[in-house]
């Protein structure tokens, strides 16, 4: 018979577990990009370093896009090694690049754990306009019936650093390709930005802050499928950027059919939230409206859309539908789309018809799905 001392073995087991957890916790490095400038300052004090080192590190992270501590050449080697011991800089790496016949460039990036996201550079050199479209989530949970990303499982939100990196890396490519920096940023890539609220706003702070890239928030547009309570939160937080609603249908019955989010956030609720946003921020609002043949492109649909444009100033961007494998929708023919737009103009609605860019490389609106 085995002589087992249960108390002794239990003590040994819990001691082993405690030691293992402590070791694991010690080995887990902190994402230094999660620290504010104030927190970095406190960290430098705790390390016996002068406080100006915090601004140097912050500048390396959010102005110069440092990919490692070794890039921080104005820090001593001793400090860099100390930082490496306790902190990490998770970065995204370019995995694939595709160039469209129209000059649009799609980038696929790998995240630290191997997930993939996409960003798109949309150049219009004739207007000196170079727009980067960034993703805010890995996948999406909203299952819009016309969107390839919506058919993917949402895995997680992106961090502010991962969003920032998309802009920084695409800007490097833009300058190398076109000799110009990016001029505009749109959060219209993979995911619903308002479901990644904290990280999206943090990324905006880094992109627009004087200690970051110092871009004007008026050159940023955040798009949403329509989450009313988060639109109101944007107003509470007095954001300075532009807001775009992915509308795509001007009545609840049709919108419910293609956008399940509308069942919890119907048009009346969304319009109330948008009006509140306009009254409290005065920021520009636009409606994104993909035109589907014989679904939402009739004059009756245009009449409904005009009604939605009466409550506050708004611009309508009509977008060509981009074909996606396995989807039944067809894009409106050019004549019908132009007639639809003209009806809006005749009723004093500001409208722009946007022809698809990058559709030959699956980089156009609704096509981002990490397709090989």
Spot the catalytic one: 28, 112, 118, 175.
118
The yes-or-no answer on residue 175 being catalytic is: no
CB of 332 within 8 A of CB of 292?
A: yes
% pLDDT > 70, the chain:
88
What tokens does 252 get? 């609840």
Q: Which of 262, 260, 243, 241 is nearest to 251 (CA)?
A: 262
**For the whole prediction, is pTM greater than 0.85?**
yes
Pick from 13-27, 140-154, 166-180: least confident: 13-27
Concatenated DSSP letters of 145-201: TT-SGGGSPP-EEPPHHHHHHHHHHHHHHHHHHHSS---EEEE-SSS-GGGGHHHHH
CB of 180 within 8 A of CB of 132?
A: no
Tell me where in the chain the CATH 1.10.150.530 domain(s) lie: 28-88
Spot the catalytic one: 140, 144, 147, 365.
365
Tell me where in the chain the CATH 3.20.20.70 domain(s) lie: 93-361
| Stronger pLDDT, 359 or 255, i.e. the higher one | 255
Q: Which of 70, 68, 67, 41 is nearest to 56 (CA)?
A: 41
Write out pLDDT tens, residues 200-223.
999 999 999 999 999 999 999 999
- Which CATH number fits the domain 93-361, given the four candidates 3.40.1260.10, 3.20.20.70, 3.30.390.30, 3.40.50.2300? 3.20.20.70
**Strand 87-88, strand 93-99: pairing:** unpaired
Q: What is the CB neighbour count within 10 angstroms for residue 18? A: 10
The yes-or-no answer on residue 118 being catalytic is: yes
Write out pLDDT tens, residues 119-148.
999 999 889 999 999 999 999 999 898 888
The CA-based angle 202-206-212, given to 5 degrees, is 165
CATH 1.10.357.10, domain 28-88, yes or no: no
Q: What is the CB neighbour count within 10 angstroms for residue 211? A: 14
The yes-or-no verdict on residue 366 having pLDDT over 70 is no
Concatenated DSSP letters of 68-121: SGGG-TTS-HHHHHHHHHHEE----EEEEEEE-TTS-EEEEEE-TTS-EEEEEE
Q: What is the CB neighbour count within 10 angstroms for residue 96? A: 13
pLDDT of residue 28: 87
């Amino acid at each position: 018979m085995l002589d087992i001392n249960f108390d002794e073995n239990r003590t040994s087991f819990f001691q082993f577990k405690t030691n293992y957890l402590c070791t694991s916790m010690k080995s887990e490095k902190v994402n230094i990009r999660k620290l504010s400038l104030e927190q970095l300052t406190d960290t430098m004090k705790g390390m016996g370093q002068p406080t100006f080192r915090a601004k140097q590190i912050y500048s390396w992270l959010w102005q110069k896009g440092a990919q490692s501590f070794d890039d921080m050449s104005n820090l001593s080697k001793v400090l860099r090694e100390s930082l490496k011991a306790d902190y990490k800089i998770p970065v995204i790496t370019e995995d694939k690049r595709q160039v469209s016949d129209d000059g649009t460039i799609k980038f696929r990036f790998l995240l630290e754990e191997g997930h993939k996201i996409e960003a798109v550079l949309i150049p219009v050199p004739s207007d000196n306009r170079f727009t980067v479209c960034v993703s805010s989530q890995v996948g999406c949970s909203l299952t819009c019936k016309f969107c390839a990303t919506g058919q993917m499982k949402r895995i997680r939100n992106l961090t502010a650093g991962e969003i920032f990196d998309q802009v920084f890396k695409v800007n490097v490519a833009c300058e190398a390709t076109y000799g110009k920096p990016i001029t505009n940023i749109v959060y219209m890539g993979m995911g619903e930005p308002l479901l990644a609220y904290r990280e999206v706003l943090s990324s905006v702070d880094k992109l627009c802050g004087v200690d970051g890239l110092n871009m004007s928030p008026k050159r940023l547009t955040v798009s949403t499928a329509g989450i009313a309570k988060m639109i109101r939160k944007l107003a509470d937080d007095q954001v300075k950027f532009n807001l775009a609603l992915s509308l795509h249908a001007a009545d609840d019955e049709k919108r419910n059919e293609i956008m399940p989010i509308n069942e919890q956030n119907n048009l009346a609720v969304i319009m109330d939230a948008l009006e509140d946003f306009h009254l409290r921020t005065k920021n520009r609002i636009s409606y994104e409206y993909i035109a589907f043949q014989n679904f939402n492109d009739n004059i009756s649909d245009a009449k409904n859309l005009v009604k939605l444009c009466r409550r506050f100033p708004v611009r309508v961007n009509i977008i060509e539908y981009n074909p996606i494998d396995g989807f039944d929708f067809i894009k409106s023919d050019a004549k019908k789309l132009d007639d639809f737009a003209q009806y809006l103009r005749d009723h004093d609605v500001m409208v722009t018809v946007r022809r698809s860019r990058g559709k030959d490389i699956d980089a156009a609106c609704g096509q981002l799905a990490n397709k090989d």
